[in-house]
A and B are shown apart, each in its own frame.
Chain A
């Protein structure tokens, strides 16, 4: 945890500096305005567009320095922690669950929401939950079916269907 604390503070500090840099960005349509011209008071207009995000980002940066100082002085709980940031279980869980979620996002582009829901449920229940194939298949099939009738048919909110789109045309003909 100790290492993770300082590494995170460093990364968040860099992010804060990036936010400060971005906040002072001049608008593209007005090249005469210099960077950071918008972070102070503008005559007759009050604070500029970058005022609020810039100074808040500056406070964020100062907080990261504060966290680092606490870390060096070992005054914060995590700065003295001997525990690992992620143990073997947490790493495995993150890879399996996080990987599953990223897989879900990729599958939405290919087979659409309903196909991705089916695959994700099946993966999660069989691989992570160790449920029986039959039970997993029933739930993994029922969920996209219920979702389809709720969103596409009842609520008319069309979810992306990817390459499975042609399969849904007969259903639209039947129910819409």
Chain B
């Protein structure tokens, strides 16, 4: 009952005019960035993170900027389907699976049906995941309160190990990516000894450390734009969509037929979303696969089966909420977008982790309430303004790209008024483009940059406590199993390698 009362209070706070307005703007921005090929939720929240300082200074609370960013996250999950269906290009990687059946249905002249199914499945997925989040988050936070330094470090190790064991990218490049993120997070002054560390070439700009914003906007603003310009050299054709109120209502009436795909996506997406290194993209792809596997007519998948749209769309929305669960309760983000949100919370003066629920209920519950509100807003705006988003998709990339570049540079400067940050951000962006070209995964680095300043003190405190004995991570009842699982995950590729060798 406490949870329900807190949730209702939270929803009322989320409905206050300022918060509601921010949620609406956030959803619209999210729908736009989600729909634009080359941009996704992480780009939206990273590029607009500096502007949340303004929101915080106006409202005087961290809740409103977080509601704004969470709404962008939500909107982007809805928006990805628009370009997947009408252009055949996923607006974001999370909407890749939507293309498989969304595009064929659009080519059959039923783009309106595909768009409506995608929006409704997203809504159902979002709602179910919100209920699951509300049910699981408080007890998980209570359990997490018992965690000490070794347990928290073991959890972080587990998060990184998941990338190595399950990430699917080149192993040495993934480990390199994690380590460089952790190392870059140490630049500046050591908080324990006060000694300067890694002040490269004695450039004074490094003495305040490399700010997360610089890396996030560099990677997801500049780097992503250059990547998109390079990879979208061949034009696209947009499918004509004939939308009518009657057609929309007809599709709404037929939506219950997709219950199976929607249910699979909603539940599977949530639990996959919780895993670090997983998130909405694998969640939606897995849900698509399971929906096809369990379908009575699997051959129709890939040819415009509505379950093939409902499953991934429900899943990517559900997974985005799932990824918030470890971020809010344990302080460990499950995806790059939640890593940016976590960094935002730190910048606004909050301490993410289990104590958030007991010490900052005024922040937590309005935010959870806003998830429900944003989900409704996203559905309404998505359905009501599909023609507007289709029109916006026609915006030439040669107008959008310089706008994003300008926004990235101005936003980086506005946050700390430091030109060093702006120059470094551009360099980071160009470096990110080259590393991506060479298959270096960047998401682990972004997560590492966020988790580094938390992980290092936890490790040092643990080793101080144990007199330098690493067995502390194995002998404690909670830390031990987590560390063992992390080590197994790290060694998983080795097991696979040995198995393949044995099998010849």
Which A1-25 residues have a C-beta within 8 angstroms of B?
1, 4-5, 8, 12, 19, 22-23, 25
Say yes or no: is B240 at the interface (Cβ < 8 Å to chain A): no
Residue in B171, B179, B468 whose beta carbon sits within 8 Å of that of A60 in the complex: B179
Which residues of chain A are within 8 angstroms of B254 by Cβ–Cβ distance? none
Say yes or no: is A168 at the interface (Cβ < 8 Å to chain B): no
Chain B interface secondary structure, helix, strand, loop or mixed? helix
Contact B229 A93 (CB under 8 A): yes
Q: When chains A and B are docked, how far (Å) is the Cα of A12 from the Cα of B468?
A: 30
Contact B426 A102 (CB under 8 A): yes
Contact B173 A104 (CB under 8 A): no
Which residues of chain A are within 8 angstroms of B463 by Cβ–Cβ distance? 41, 46-47
Which residues of chain A are within 8 angstroms of B244 by Cβ–Cβ distance? none
**22 A-B contacts (beta carbon < 8 Å):** A4-B437, A19-B183, A38-B193, A46-B468, A48-B193, A49-B195, A53-B186, A56-B182, A59-B179, A60-B183, A90-B230, A94-B230, A97-B401, A101-B430, A108-B409, A120-B405, A124-B405, A129-B398, A139-B399, A155-B54, A158-B417, A159-B414
User: 18 additional contacts, CB 8 Å, given A57-B179, A125-B399?
Assistant: A12-B176, A25-B197, A47-B459, A49-B195, A49-B197, A63-B173, A63-B176, A63-B179, A64-B172, A70-B172, A77-B439, A97-B401, A98-B226, A105-B423, A124-B405, A125-B398, A125-B402, A131-B398
Contact A64 B176 (CB under 8 A): yes
Q: When chains A and B are docked, how far (Å) is the Cα of A65 from the Cα of B464?
A: 32
Contact A151 B180 (CB under 8 A): no
Contact A85 B437 (CB under 8 A): yes
Q: When chains A and B are docked, how far (Å) is the Cα of A60 from the Cα of B434?
A: 18
Closest-by-CB residue of A relative to B433 is: A94
Which residues of chain A are within 8 angstroms of B396 by Cβ–Cβ distance? 129, 131
Closest-by-CB residue of B relative to A7 is: B438
Chain A interface secondary structure, helix, strand, loop or mixed? helix
Known: A27-B196, A53-B198, A143-B403. A113 touches B426 (CB 8 A): no
Which B377-428 residues have a C-beta within 8 angstroms of A?
396, 398-399, 401-403, 405-406, 409-410, 413-414, 417, 419, 422-423, 426
Which of B197, B396, B434, B468 has most A Cβ within 10 Å? B197
Say yes or no: is A133 at the interface (Cβ < 8 Å to chain B): no
Contact B402 A124 (CB under 8 A): yes
Say yes or no: is B461 at the interface (Cβ < 8 Å to chain A): yes
Contact B398 A19 (CB under 8 A): no
User: How many interface residues does B have (CB within 8 Å)?
Assistant: 56
Which residues of chain B are within 8 angstroms of A121 by Cβ–Cβ distance? 402, 406
Known: A51-B460, A63-B179. A4 touches B405 (CB 8 A): no
Which residues of chain B are within 8 angstroms of A143 by Cβ–Cβ distance? 403, 406
For B198-229 the 0/1 string (1 means CB < 8 A from A) is 11100000000000000000000010001001
Say yes or no: is B5 at the interface (Cβ < 8 Å to chain A): no
Which residues of chain B are within 8 angstroms of A93 by Cβ–Cβ distance? 226, 229-230
Contact A53 B414 (CB under 8 A): no
Contact B417 A157 (CB under 8 A): yes
Residue in A5, A25, A101, A124 whose beta carbon sits within 8 Å of that of B438 in the complex: A5
Contact B461 A22 (CB under 8 A): no
Which residues of chain A are within 8 angstroms of B198 by Cβ–Cβ distance? 19, 22-23, 53
Closest-by-CB residue of A relative to B435 is: A8
Which A35-80 residues have a C-beta within 8 angstroms of B?
38, 41, 45-53, 56-57, 59-60, 63-64, 66-67, 70, 76-78
Closest-by-CB residue of A relative to B415 is: A157
Q: When chains A and B are docked, how far (Å) is the Cα of A64 from the Cα of B192?
A: 30
Contact B173 A67 (CB under 8 A): yes
Contact A120 B402 (CB under 8 A): yes
Which of A41, A60, A125 has most B Cβ within 10 Å? A60
Which residues of chain B are within 8 angstroms of A46 by Cβ–Cβ distance? 460-461, 463-464, 468
Contact A56 B183 (CB under 8 A): yes
Which residues of chain A are within 8 angstroms of B402 by Cβ–Cβ distance? 120-121, 124-125
Which A77-104 residues have a C-beta within 8 angstroms of B?
77-78, 85-86, 89-90, 93-94, 97-98, 100-102, 104
Say yes or no: is A128 at the interface (Cβ < 8 Å to chain B): yes
A154 to B: closest C-beta gap in Å: 8
Contact A60 B176 (CB under 8 A): yes
Q: How large is the interface on A (under 10, 10 to 19, 20 to 34, 35 or more residues)?
A: 35 or more
Which residues of chain B are within 8 angstroms of A50 by Cβ–Cβ distance? 197
Q: When chains A and B are docked, how far (Å) is the Cα of A101 from the Cα of B230?
A: 15
Say yes or no: is A141 at the interface (Cβ < 8 Å to chain B): no
Closest-by-CB residue of A relative to B437 is: A85
Contact A67 B172 (CB under 8 A): yes
Contact A128 B183 (CB under 8 A): no
Q: When chains A and B are docked, how far (Å) is the Cα of A137 from the Cα of B413?
A: 25
Residue in B192, B430, B439 whose beta carbon sits within 8 Å of that of A78 in the complex: B439
Known: A22-B198, A27-B195, A124-B398. A101 touches B222 (CB 8 A): yes
Which residues of chain B are within 8 angstroms of A105 by Cβ–Cβ distance? 409, 422-423, 426
A21 to B: closest C-beta gap in Å: 10
Contact A53 B399 (CB under 8 A): no
Contact A78 B410 (CB under 8 A): no
Contact A52 B179 (CB under 8 A): no
Q: When chains A and B are docked, how far (Å) is the Cα of A79 from the Cα of B137?
A: 45
Contact A52 B456 (CB under 8 A): yes
Say yes or no: is B496 at the interface (Cβ < 8 Å to chain A): no
Which residues of chain B are within 8 angstroms of A64 by Cβ–Cβ distance? 172, 176
Say yes or no: is B311 at the interface (Cβ < 8 Å to chain A): no
A116 to B: closest C-beta gap in Å: 8
Which of B401, B409, B422 has most A Cβ within 10 Å? B409
For A133-176 the 0/1 string (1 means CB < 8 A from B) is 00000010001000100010001011110000000000000000
Say yes or no: is B233 at the interface (Cβ < 8 Å to chain A): yes
B233 to A: closest C-beta gap in Å: 6
Say yes or no: is B175 at the interface (Cβ < 8 Å to chain A): yes
Closest-by-CB residue of A relative to B396 is: A129
A80 to B: closest C-beta gap in Å: 13
Residue in B175, B180, B182, B410 whose beta carbon sits within 8 Å of that of A52 in the complex: B182
Which residues of chain A are within 8 angstroms of B233 by Cβ–Cβ distance? 89
